Structure 1
């Protein structure tokens, strides 16, 4: 597997080059040992799938507050999508910086989203499927999100939004939630990135 560091510390675009022969191909999709070698202690707690019927479907921005913050290892296994990461770690030099990654199933790529960062994705094709490993159990009381069209983030989504859940459409704006996010995302001394 090949790890390309992104501008947000601890985030990577990961490529799994397939090895082919007359039978087809094989590619490693996830390796805990390799992630450790890149400074990421990733214990898989859940593996989730998402199928999206229409291009333009938007999911997110999602995250969980500590102590339930989660790494995500997200792979597009059908179709195409863009994933947008936002760094929510107050001590990070890239705090509130965004990073956009395009993933296509045929490219055999994934994105590693670090703990205390959030993400949203938009499908670029109909019938887009996502498979992702998560390092923490879903904990509803720790869940929070950012508004997909927050003017402070100024995300330029590639397509008009065709589908979005009522919950994702109604997350508060950063102007309303940033102080609380900053407080709840701050770790005690010695646990910084």
Structure 2
């Protein structure tokens, strides 16, 4: 049976699909609209994405898309491990600026559901990490936004020193949450 574990921000949910194993290995149903809808997650995914990061300490994020292309995500690791982070950036939310994290591993099969209105990012915990994630709206570059990964107001407990973090040039110059115009989701 798939298990759901609400995190400190209950909209963000850790999902652990059941694995059926035998001498050959295991099988897992990683997404079932029927199963997760019955558990309260009713996203209609339209796109699958896959990412590879060669080095431990690679940080991607914190990213989001605004309306009319806002995205919910379902993230899982195919190889390696990550610290996955979601930050509430919804205007007027009583938890705006709060974040939650969960370790996702290929071995454990955990998944993180990140709803619309949350910025998402992750840090690789080892070399050669591959992850896959579903989104419920198509990629729209005109709607993309982000918050800088090391925003001191957020104080995210990343598992890498700032000097050792591997980042894209784009992610290095994202604004702080306090400097972000209120996004619409």
Contact 2:97-2:177 at 8 Å conserved across structures: no
More helix by share: 1
Question: How far did 1:16 drift?
Answer: 1.5
The normalised TM-score by structure 1 is 0.89
> Could you tell me how far apart the structure 1 residues matched to 2:41 and 2:94 are?
18
> Could you tell me how far apart the structure 2 residues matched to 1:56 and 1:22 are?
34
> Could you tell me how far apart the structure 1 residues matched to 2:10 and 2:155 are?
21
The normalised TM-score by structure 2 is 0.93
Question: How far did 1:100 drift?
Answer: 1.1
> Could you tell me how far apart the structure 2 residues matched to 1:78 and 1:68 are?
29
Report Cα offsets for 1:139-183 as digits up to 9, x if no partner. 111100000111111112112343111111110122321xx12xx
CA RMSD of aligned residues (A): 1.4
Question: Relative to 1, partners in 2 of residues 1:90 and 1:145: Cα closer, same or farther, differing over 3 Å?
Answer: same
Q: For structure 2, list consecutive stretches of 5 or more residues without a partner in the other structure.
A: none
Count residues in correspondence: 182
Question: How far did 1:89 drift?
Answer: 1.9
Q: For structure 1, list consecutive stretches of 5 or more residues without a partner in the other structure.
A: 188-193
Partner of 2:80: 79
Partner of 1:174: 177
Matched position secondary structure for 1:60 = strand
Report Cα offsets for 1:69-117 as digits up to 9, x if no partner. 1110000111011011101123433222100111111011100001111
TM alignment of 1:1-193, pairs within 5 A: 1-160=2-161, 161-177=164-180, 180-181=181-182, 184-185=183-184
Question: How far did 1:20 drift?
Answer: 1.0
Contact 1:10-1:40 at 8 Å conserved across structures: no
